[in-house]
A = this chain, B = another copy of it.
Amino acid sequence: MIKAGIIGATGYAGGELVRLLLGHKDAEIIWYGSKSFVGSKYAEIYQNMFQLVEADCLDDNIEELSEQADVIFTATPQGYLSSVLTEDILNKVKVIDLSADYRIKDVSVYEKWYGITHKSPHLVEEAVYGLCEENRGKIKNARLVANPGCYPTCSFLAIAPLVKERLIDEKSIIIDAKSGTTGAGRGAKTDNLFCEVNENIKAYGVASHRHTPEIEQQLGEAAGSPARISFTPHLVPMMRGILVTAYADVRPGVTKEQIRNAYVKAYENEYFVRVLKERICPQTKWVEGSNFADVNAVYDERTGRVVMMGAIDNLVKGAAGQAVQNMNLMFGLNEQEGLQLVPVFP
């Protein structure tokens, strides 16, 4: 039985981790860490867990936790883990970080976009970017996994097949993304009140969202040459789900069939990525509660552009689900263990 500790268990991603790990036959949660709720019963913070979790919330003492756990999940604010993680901890326990601290390989880029001085840059190189479909091999042997951001996961899975096959111009990529409100966290902010979010849609972080360099890094790596994207996230009046609609110029001579085939080839052996039938557009509702990413593309011959689409549940494939998928890989388990979740509809 894998002993798992969670630091940041009372945020939405942390809560989802608890939900998924409770259904995982080879893991048990031994530490519900929460800065704000130390000493409270976890099930009083998340009443859905009543009679399912009896534990109290503990603090975020990662040193102590590293003595007890086999794996630590950190669903913490940016800058937390990088300020406390040590070689010593990594010698004792595997770490899966749901924050952005170890995702960006170029520390100066991280520091610029996040406005934070990185406190453990020496560990960045070692960290494996935990997009399982892409880095499966490396993840299996990793001590430290940087669990991908929600937008980057969905964007990459929707776009990468065409970039890898060099069917689109990687300088022309525009990503218009739409997210449910869990992405904004459980903090008490006026902007996230029901009455402000409901019956509303808006763009935010235009030309400045922190997931931009992460997406550029991953797409650039897949392309073999730097990518420069426009990325615009939007807040949608729903709880879960990310939809990515991406646009790019198709390279001359590329056919509709090549585009289709690129997706089929990329994902034919991937359980969690579903290439929808032609003309079927992904919908966030079809993946809700599950670890699936639904993708598809439409080639618009009239304009010479392709519209690439992807949908995930931001809390599952975009956060906790992918984290568990990473854990499964790191511990040599069946990659799907605990993640065979049928999407909840409606």
Residues of A within 8 A of B (CB): 12, 15, 18-19, 22-23, 46-52, 174, 176, 178, 180-182, 186-190, 192-204, 206-207, 228-230, 232, 234, 236-241, 243, 245, 247, 274, 276, 280-290, 294, 298-300, 302-303, 305, 307, 309, 311, 340, 342-346
Q: Are A193 and B186 in contact (CB-based, < 8 A)?
A: yes
On whether A239 and B195 interact (CB within 8 A), knowing A298-B206, A346-B182, the answer reads: yes
A290 to B343, CA, bound (A): 13
Per CB-CB distance, the 3 closest pairs between chain A and chain B, nearest first, are A207-B300, A48-B343, A200-B285
Nearest CB on B from A67, distance (A): 28
Q: Copies of this chain, how many? A: 4
A234 to B234, CA, bound (A): 12
A194 to B202, CA, bound (A): 15
Nearest CB on B from A286, distance (A): 4
Q: Are B198 and A193 in contact (CB-based, < 8 A)?
A: no
Q: Which residues of B contact A280 (CB under 8 A)?
A: 47
On whether A206 and B307 interact (CB within 8 A), knowing A174-B247, A201-B284, the answer reads: yes
Q: Are A22 and B346 in contact (CB-based, < 8 A)?
A: no
Chain B residue with Cβ nearest A243:
B201
Q: Are A284 and B50 in contact (CB-based, < 8 A)?
A: no
Chain B residue with Cβ nearest A47:
B286
Nearest CB on B from A237, distance (A): 5
A236 to B298, CA, bound (A): 20
8 Å CB contact of A340 from B23, B240, B286: B23
Q: A182-B346, A194-B194 are in contact. List 16 more A-B contacts (CB 8 A).
A: A22-B342, A48-B290, A50-B274, A50-B276, A50-B286, A174-B247, A188-B188, A188-B190, A201-B241, A202-B281, A202-B311, A203-B243, A230-B247, A230-B307, A232-B247, A239-B346
Q: Are B49 and A15 in contact (CB-based, < 8 A)?
A: no
Q: Which residues of B contact A345 (CB under 8 A)?
A: 15, 19, 46, 48
Q: Which residues of B contact A307 (CB under 8 A)?
A: 203, 206-207, 230, 232
Q: Are B234 and A178 in contact (CB-based, < 8 A)?
A: yes
Nearest CB on B from A198, distance (A): 6
Q: Which residues of B contact A18 (CB under 8 A)?
A: 342
